[in-house]
Structure 1
């Protein structure tokens, strides 16, 4: 078993690409699986985040939350820089209201879940990013309505239901975080607790593979059905990621963040809250059905980018 765990960790990027491919093939070959797979996303993602939080020493979260330079930079990048970038990119679809609304929802909301996982895989400061998560979540709940009103108009604001934000924060952040804290406390006191902690840690790569495969399998068929309309969004999402990587590198260097901090900053700027905003978009009225697939398309593009960044970002940090 230790040999298998070591092999998976060594070849994790290839494993994640394989999981993406497997999810795509299953979703396209068996369209009826999309419903059950979509229901499985949150449970699998919750387990993945539990394993991620378990690997973060809770004793370090207090000092991480007091790192005002990092926290301020993450907030500034996500809520000052990103909206400007999104507004400029949104001009490319300004005449297509449904595409515009879906794009704004997903690109204006910074990720608060699996970004922590990818940050850790790339050697970034996942503890500092985890400490910033509640602030990021609260800020986007307050600011997303304003940005949507500014860029999409007041008519969109009147039909949005915001409860999924709170639900996602409870089930994808608070519950896994509490469970990880209890497990860490048990590991320090009992042999069984340590065994559970070790087993969960060993399952990290398989859990990530399962999450990637389930997300892709649940959404790929719907995307393929509207491929013509959605192809326009792919270069926009790729351009957004490229811009945010460059701006993240520049911003982190200007404010004097260390390499792990810059990596975490870049992942936070690139990764969006697609799994949380998707229920909001799906609750939009008739006529906006395609907006959900616009969000899903961003998820699929982003997952490939994240897997690539896990391999590429440490090299960028070394050369910066």
Structure 2
């Protein structure tokens, strides 16, 4: 199997991992006791492999097209939080549910968004250049969004001493990934250093499938007791994807983005960065187990929706204009 084919069909791997995890957790009484400790190193490996594939050195290139950059930043960090704020009153008044939805919906994706943008005939160059900018901005703004959009006192629910492991699980892989890419570039073209970075590109899909399997296995009890909540998550995630697509079309029209850039905007506003926020979800105290399930459920709904996006964005929402006679 080629890497391209693996990424094209990744959604089915994740669904299979979810089903296997739920089945395994149902038969394994103390699964959470054994599986949860493995989640942190798995997440660290996943983030490390993913970050090595991000063009972290292309930050300068991202600023070359200021119109697209400003539009993408405004879409993701102004329009999207407003959409999330509008959706929250439509959900049950459950602080854990709303916290999970805000946590996963306000941060844009930086990895599979590029793959789906390419499949949807978007501007892959700008998608690639925007990814590292998006990552840095979301890491800075996420605490502010959680403070503004939820009624949860983060200082009480997640004391600083509990947050640091989650922060380190993101920052340490990021630093190691930057060093890995630098060392890889310092080697001979086609040499072992460069080949190592290339091989790491195979890791994100199987690692994310493993993380989903582990989360499902360890939290099967929370899933059973929250099926009604998960149905709400599915509906909200679907509504968000529809609203984000409409907002991207409107925003691209207002600033007169070229079609390919408009498609890129649609994919970056539609896809969310579920596994960046998963460490924080897992750091929450006992009683908040539903939050990681919300994050995983949203990501699965999104991945299924991307199958539709890949057709809908280039064929309907940002369709090529017919040539004039």
Instruction: Give me the TM-score of the superposition, normalised by structure 1.
Output: 0.77
Residues 77-111 of structure 1: CA deviation (Å, up to 9, x unaligned): 12221122111211122522221222222222333
Which residue does 2:164 correspond to in 1? 163
Q: What aligned pairs does 1:113-262 form with structure 2 within 5 A after superposition?
A: 113-120=111-118, 122=120, 123=122, 124=124, 125-141=126-142, 143-147=144-148, 151-153=149-151, 155-156=153-154, 158-160=156-158, 161=160, 162-163=163-164, 166-188=167-189, 191-193=191-193, 195-196=195-196, 199-200=198-199, 204=201, 206-221=202-217, 222=219, 224-225=223-224, 226-262=226-262
CA contact (8 A) 2:81 2:145 kept: no
| Cα distance in 1 for residues equivalent to 2:35 and 2:286 | 21
| Cα distance in 2 for residues equivalent to 1:163 and 1:261 | 37
Give, in angstroms, the shift of residue 237 of structure 1. Answer: 0.7
CA contact (8 A) 2:43 2:211 kept: yes
Distance 1:47 1:156, change over 3 A: closer
Which residue does 1:24 correspond to in 2? 18
CA contact (8 A) 1:37 1:214 kept: no
Give, in angstroms, the shift of residue 142 of structure 1. Answer: 5.4
RMSD: 3.3
| Cα distance in 1 for residues equivalent to 2:312 and 2:38 | 30
Structure 2: unaligned runs, 5 residues or longer: 26-30
Instruction: Give me the TM-score of the superposition, normalised by structure 2.
Output: 0.76
The answer on 1:275 being equivalent to 2:275 is: yes
Give, in angstroms, the shift of residue 172 of structure 1. Answer: 4.4
Q: What aligned pairs does 1:51-130 form with structure 2 within 5 A after superposition?
A: 52-53=53-54, 56=55, 58=57, 60-120=58-118, 122=120, 123=122, 124=124, 125-130=126-131
Residues 158-203 of structure 1: CA deviation (Å, up to 9, x unaligned): 4334536642542343432332233133244x64445446x53xx7
CA contact (8 A) 1:61 1:131 kept: yes
Distance 1:95 1:196, change over 3 A: closer
| Cα distance in 1 for residues equivalent to 2:184 and 2:260 | 26
Give, in angstroms, the shift of residue 157 of structure 1. Answer: 5.2
Give, in angstroms, the shift of residue 10 of structure 1. Answer: 5.3
Give, in angstroms, the shift of residue 72 of structure 1. Answer: 1.6
Which residue does 1:9 correspond to in 2? 4
Higher fraction of helix: 1
Give, in angstroms, the shift of residue 310 of structure 1. Answer: 4.5
Distance 1:207 1:156, change over 3 A: closer
| Cα distance in 2 for residues equivalent to 1:96 and 1:142 | 20
Distance 1:23 1:93, change over 3 A: same
Give, in angstroms, the shift of residue 19 of structure 1. Answer: 1.1
Give, in angstroms, the shift of residue 220 of structure 1. Answer: 3.2
Query: 2:203 aligns to what SS in structure 1?
Result: helix
Which residue does 1:41 correspond to in 2? 43
